[in-house]
Amino acid sequence: MTAYLIAEAISVTYANGVEALRRFTLEVNRGEFVAVVGPSGCGKSTLLRALAGLITPGAGQVRLDGQPVTRPSHHVGMLFQEPALLPWRTVEQNIGLPFELGSGASKREMRDPTTLQARIASLIELVGLTGFERAYPRELSGGMAQRAALARALVTEPPILLLDEPFGALDALTRETLTAALEGIWRATHTTGVLVTHSIPEAVFLADRIVVSTPRPGQVAGVVQVPLPRPRSWEMERIPEFVEAMQTARSLLRDDNG
Amino acid sequence: MMSAVSQASRIKSDVKTGAWSWGRPSARRAIGPRWRVWAMRMGPPALFALFLATWHFVSLRYPPFILPAPATVAERFAAELFSGNLAYHTAATLSEALPGLLIGALAAFLLGYPIAKSPLADRLLSPFIVASQGIPFIAIAPLLLIWFGPGAAAKIFLCAIVVFFPITVNIIAGIRGIKPLLRDLFRSLNATRWETFVKLELPAALPLTLTGLRIGATLSMMGAITAEFLGTDRGLGFLINQGRGLYDTTLVLVGIVTTVITALCIYGAVRLAERSLIVCHR
C-alpha cells in the first residue's frame, strides 16, 4: 500500500548555499498523525513548506495521493509558528479568509453564505472561541489567536493539516492546554496530520509515529512508534509507553548531536 | 510613526485631544497628577494666548506696516472673510493643492508599489527619486511656469512633485513591512496576485500610506502657494504677494493665517479619515 502523503528523498538547498534537507523521506498514511522532531535549524520548517507546495525541492518529489505536489493546494491546511491573523479582520472574518482566496471548490462554497456562516460558527465552537467571533486579533491572547488560526486552517475541511511548531511561541501552560485541544480537534476532523516540533513531549502526545531528524542538513535519524490509545491526556505522561517513546526519541536526538 | 498611528486607533474612545495632535501615547492618555491633566487641557489655549499677548506688546513699538497688532489682523481677517475675498483665494489655492495632492499620491503609489515589490525597480528608480529630493522646489517652480504657463497646471504639477516623496517613502515602508508569514499564508491559500494586493497589501499598507498623505496634505498647500508667488492672479500666495507689494503687512498676515487654518483643516480631515479607516491595526 502506498502512503497518502509522501516526501520522496527530497533535498533542498537555499540560494545562500545552506543545505536544509538531504534526501529526506517521509511517508504519512491517510488519517495518521506524524511528528517530525529535530534540533533547531534542522530543516523541519523547510520540510513542511515543501509538503505544502510552498517550495519545490531541488531533488526528489512530494506526492499527495499519487499526484506530484508543485504548488499550494486547498487539500492542505497550514498552521504556522505564529497565528498570522490579519489585524484588520475579526476572528470570524479571519477564519473565513480561505473561502475568499484562490479558485476551485472552496471559493464556490463561498457563494452560499448560510453554509459558510454555519461552517465558521461550528469551527469557532470546536476550537473554543465562542463569544469571540467579533473580536479583533489584538484583543486575543497568544493561545486564543493560535486557536483562531487553527480554525482558519480547518475551515475548508482540508484532508491534510500541516503544523509548523504551532505552539512554540506560547507559554508552557497554554502550550499543554492547546496540545490537548489539538488532539481532540484532530480526532474530530479526521485529517491527516504532520507536526514539526522540537518538543518531544508534544510529539509523543500528538503523534502515532515520530520521525527524528538529524541536525542540518536534515536526514532521518530514526522512527519511534507511539503505541498510546486515544483520546490522549496529560495524565498519560507517566505511563510506561509514553516514557519509553520519549526516551527513545531523546536518545536518537542525542546520538546525532554527538 | 507606525506606532503613533496604531496607538491613535487603539484609544479611539479617548478623543479629548484635538484631531491634529501627534497622538503620542503619553499625550493621549490624560492620566497622572491633577496639574498634568489640567495642563493637558488648558495648555494649548494658554500658550496661544501668551503668543498673542507677546505679539500685541511687540507691535505697539512698531508702525502697522511693519507689524500690525493681532487685533488689527483679526479685524482685517473678518473684513476679507465677509467680503468673500478669502473664500475666493482659498478656493483657488485648494483647486491647485488638492488635485496636486491626488496626482502626487497616485504617482507615489504607481512608483512606490513596484519599488517595494521588485529589487530591480528599486535599483532603477530609487536613485532618481532620492536625487529629485535634492532639487529645491522653489527653483523648479519658475521652470514649470515657463513650460505650463500661468494657469493652474503648473501649480498642480508643483504640488504633486512636493507631496510625491513623503507619500512614496511611506507606501514603500508599508508594503515592505508586511510580515513574510502573512505572505506565506496567502501563498498557501492559493491567493492570486490581485487577491493578495486587495486583501493583504492594500489594507496592511493603509496606515503608513495615510501617514504619508497627512504629511503630503500640508506640503501641498506650501507647494501651491510657492507657485502662486511666481505668477498668477488668484490664490492665497497671490494675496500674500499682493499685500507685500502694497506694503499692506496686515494683508500678508491675513494670508498667512488663512493658509495655516486651511492646512490644519486638510490635515485634520486626513486624520479623521485615518481614525475611521484604521479601526483595528495593531
Three-point CA angle A239, A183, A56, nearest 5°: 115
Largest CA distance in chain B: 74
Rounded mean pLDDT of B120-147? 82
CATH node for B79-277: 1.10.3720.10
Residue A13 included in any domain: no
Q: What gap in Å lies between CA B109 and CA B120, rounded to an integer?
A: 17
For the stretch B245-271, pLDDT in tens is: 888 888 888 889 898 889 888 888 888
Q: Where does a domain end: A104, A123, A158? A: A158
pLDDT bin (cut points 50, 70, 90) of residue A104 is low
Q: Are residues A250 and A186 in the same domain?
A: yes
- Kindly report the pTM of this predicted structure: 0.78
Rounded to a whole number, what is the distance in Å from the CA of A98 to chain B's nearest CA?
6
Rounded mean pLDDT of A24-34? 91
Rounded to a whole number, what is the distance in Å from the CA of A246 to chain B's nearest CA?
31
A250 has pLDDT over 80: yes
Choose between B14 and A165: higher pLDDT: A165
Residue B224 identity (one-letter amino acid): A
Sheet-wide strand order for A5-13: A19-28, A5-13, A59-64, A67-68
Of B28-32, B39-43, B71-75, B86-90, the range with the lowest mean pLDDT is: B28-32
Q: Are residues A175 and A220 in the same domain?
A: yes
From the list B195, B204, B281, the residue facing A101 with the nearest CB is: B195
Q: Are residues A167 and A229 in the same domain?
A: yes
Chain B residue at shortest CA distance from A149: B185
Helix (H, G, I), strand (E, B) or coil at B16: coil
Residue extents of the structural domains in chain B: 79-277
Residue A255 included in any domain: yes
CA A247 to chain centroid: 23
A150 C-beta neighbours (distance < 10 Å), count: 27
Q: Are residues A125 and A223 in the same domain?
A: no
What pLDDT sits at residue A160? 92
What pLDDT sits at residue B18? 43
B95: exposed, middle or buried (C-beta count within 10 Å: 0-12, 13-18, 19+)?
middle
Rounded mean pLDDT of A12-24? 86
Q: Are residues A43 and A169 in the same domain?
A: yes
Q: CB–CB of B162/B152 below 8 Å?
A: no
DSSP labels for A14-46?
Answer: -TTS-EEEEEEEEEE-TT-EEEEE--TTSSHHH
Q: How many residues in chain B? A: 282
Mark yes or no for CB contact B190/A138 under 8 Å.
no
For the stretch A172-188, pLDDT in tens is: 888 989 999 999 989 88
pLDDT bin (cut points 50, 70, 90) of residue B29 is low
Sign of CA dihedral B161, B163, B169, B175: negative
Q: Are residues A258 and A131 in the same domain?
A: no
Closest CA to A201 of A153, A160, A167: A167
Residue B141 identity (one-letter amino acid): A
pLDDT bin (cut points 50, 70, 90) of residue B215 is confident
Of B32-36, B130-134, B246-250, the range with the lowest mean pLDDT is: B32-36
B6-29 b/e with 16+ CB inside 10 Å = b?
bbbbbeeeeeebebbeebeeeebe
Closest CA to A199 of A169, A159, A229: A169
For testing contact with chain B, the best of A76, A79, A100, A101 (most B CBs within 10 A): A101
Residue A207 included in any domain: yes
Q: Are residues A66 and A127 in the same domain?
A: no
In this prediction the ipTM stands at: 0.89
B103's grid cell: 496626482
- Which residues neighbour A196 within 8 Å (Cβ) at sequence distance 6 or greater? A35, A36, A44, A45, A47, A48, A163, A164, A165
Overall number of domains in chain A: 2
Residue A3 included in any domain: no
Residue A80 included in any domain: no
Q: Are residues A58 and A128 in the same domain?
A: no
Mark yes or no for CB contact B191/A101 under 8 Å.
yes
pLDDT bin (cut points 50, 70, 90) of residue A111 is low
> Which DSSP letter does residue A198 get?
S
Q: CB–CB of B166/B175 below 8 Å?
A: no
Can you give the residue range of the structural domain that contains A221? 18-75+159-258
